[in-house]
Structure 1
Amino acid sequence: MKQIEVTILGQSYRLGCPEGGEAQLLAAVDTVDREMSAIRDAGKVKARERMAVLAALNLAYQLAERPAAPAAGSATSPAPADAELQALITRIDAALGDDGRLL
């Protein structure tokens, strides 16, 4: 496994990467860095760990919003339960309080 060094929010990280996966990993790093920078630039969250959690939640939510690709051998995949997802976002927002909103 290849090791590459990346920077996220000004912090360097050494990550393991399978051969041929460098472009995908660098694209993922860029996405995470942009998301964390946007949260930092909003000015409501100061702690790097909190920024990382919010970025992860935002990215997971965006991924959940995408239409699901049909699984091999099945006609359709069930869509995420919108009410459950909205309830989860509301609970996260309540837990964060004034530190920032998920969306």
Structure 2
Amino acid sequence: MKQMEVTIMGQSYLLGCPEGGEATLSRAVSQVDREMSAIRDAGKVKARERIAVLAALNLAYQLADGPAATTPARADENQTAPELEALIRRLDEALGHDGQLL
């Protein structure tokens, strides 16, 4: 498994990534970064941990809601919900292993 350094809300993370999965992981990281930044920029939530939880809930809701929640960025990914769920689980595991959520 390859390692890939990514940045979410200005903080760097080293994530495991299967060979050939770099573009998919980059899209997922961009989506998480956009969601978290939007919550932070709204100004109502300051704690990074709470921002991360709210972003995760928003993204999980979009995923569970199915095609009705598809955004232009997600429409081009050609991934099924189980593949996205597996990617989110891998990201959660990787972020959880460093002892800090964010």
TM-score range relative to shorter protein? 0.5 to 0.7
The structure that is helix-richer by fraction is: 2
Structure 2 matches for 1:1-103, cutoff 5 A? Answer: 1-67=1-67
Point out 4+ residue stretches in structure 1 off by more than 4 angstroms: none
Shift of 1:37: 0.2
- State the Cα RMSD in Å: 0.6
State the structure with bigger RCO (CA 8 A, min sep 6), 1 or 2: 2
Percent same amino acid among aligned pairs?
84
For residue 66 of structure 1, give the secondary structure of its aligned residue in structure 2: helix
Give the TM-score normalised by structure 1.
0.64
Unaligned runs of 5+ in 2: 68-102
Q: Write out per-residue CA displacement over residues 37-79 of structure 1, whole angstroms, 9 at most, x where no aligned residue.
A: 0000000000001000000000000111114xxxxxxxxxxxx
Q: What amino acid sits opposite 1:6 in the alignment?
A: V
Pick the structure with greater CA Rg. Answer: 1
| Distance of 2:4 and 2:60 partners within structure 1 | 24
Give the TM-score normalised by structure 2.
0.65
